[in-house]
Structure 1
Amino acid sequence: MNTILIVDDEPQMLELITDCLQLLPVEVQTEHDSAAARKRLQTESFDLVMLDVMMPSPDGWELLKETAGLPSPPSVIMLTALGDNDQVVRGLQHGADDYVTKPFEPAILAARVEAVLRRKRPHSGSTISCNGLTVDSVRRQAAFEGSCLSLTKKEFDLVALLVKRPGQVFTRQQLLDEIDDHASAASDRTVDTHMKNIREKIRRAGGSSSLIETVWGIGYRLGNRK
């Protein structure tokens, strides 16, 4: 069952949203204190978080930014004032999955929640594992022996490529193409820096940093577990 956390400083709004979702197969939890919500997001796991934009510090924008850095980021629906299109655009640009304007129709709110959770659900064949590394291409999450790796977008893309083709040697240029890094400053050192960070995160998760092997003069490959 999916778990939803609703964060809004108005108790009546928390009660209203909870009532709207009571027919869905979800567990709903609420928090009216945004500071308390911040602590819960750091220690608990949620599939979806619904954030009111206008709250005392930390406000919805701060919490949205912080959720993106969690080891297993939840989906996020922003709750915004009617007609505030600037807030809607800002939320979507900063990683929110959807938005709901107040006041809202209960059926529309429930449908949006269902749609976001449906997109989050992993599809068959979305998860690939090799030598202790697991990548989920739908959730865009990676783990080593069950320990979540907090990877950046580009780091995830590189790990996913290596896991899908274990043993294959990739040149640095191929890896740059994979992460679509065509900035003028991008170079072999860019790839080396990403690989160094990935190795360190694997090491902190209990793996060997040599799992990703350097092929001198060429590039990198996913090797065997040591």
Structure 2
Amino acid sequence: MARPRRIVLIRHGESEGNADDTVYEREPDHALRLTATGRKQAEEAGVRMRRLFGQERVSAYVSPYRRTHETFHRLGLDPSLVRVREEPRLREQDWGNWQDREDVRLQKAYRDAYGHFFYRFAQGESGADVYDRVGAFLESLYRSFEKPDHPPNVLIVTHGLTMRLFCMRWFHWTVAEFESLSNPGNADSRTLMLGDDGKYRLDRPFERWCTPEPYDLTH
């Protein structure tokens, strides 16, 4: 099994929706573009990615949203070294169709109170639903490692919540641990590094906004 030395998760750059939440009333979430700031963020992230990967091969998976596609292309990776695939299971948490700004703000407040993992948007998904499809993607990713010529790097261009849920699934974090973490910033990344002991570790932790409540599963 040719496990990669690095699995890099990167969030898309700033999108039109990050800059102005009224755009969700007029444009589908999946169709939103990067802003000028987001394009610059992606290009700056590309400098870091090219330095990290060097001349090594990369297997890339990109969420089907326009802003993740644009982020990937702005990274400026050498196409001769990168095998890229669109991966629908890495998409953003679905809100469901066009959105009313005031309703979205109300639902976000409800989600903050109820919990990001379990709260289900009225016409969309819960965090738990995203966790399930990320888990299905991981099964496919593990199978790809069985190929002896698998590239030494994996790059996943996705969304903030999906990044946290990917790590939750990979490292077997509890729901309480997941709930205590903040999303990374736009075009921010986290890298799972393969150690000499065969285990992956994050290059740096996610920021915490609270201390997770401990659970004792032995009783």
Q: Is the structural similarity TM-score above 0.5?
A: no
Name the structure where strand makes up a greater proportion of residues.
1
Instruction: With a CA cutoff of 8 Å and minimum separation of 6, indicate the structure with the bigger relative contact order.
Output: 2
TM range (shorter): under 0.3
Calculate the TM-score normalised by the size of structure 2: 0.25
**Structure of larger gyration radius:** 1
Calculate the TM-score normalised by the size of structure 1: 0.24
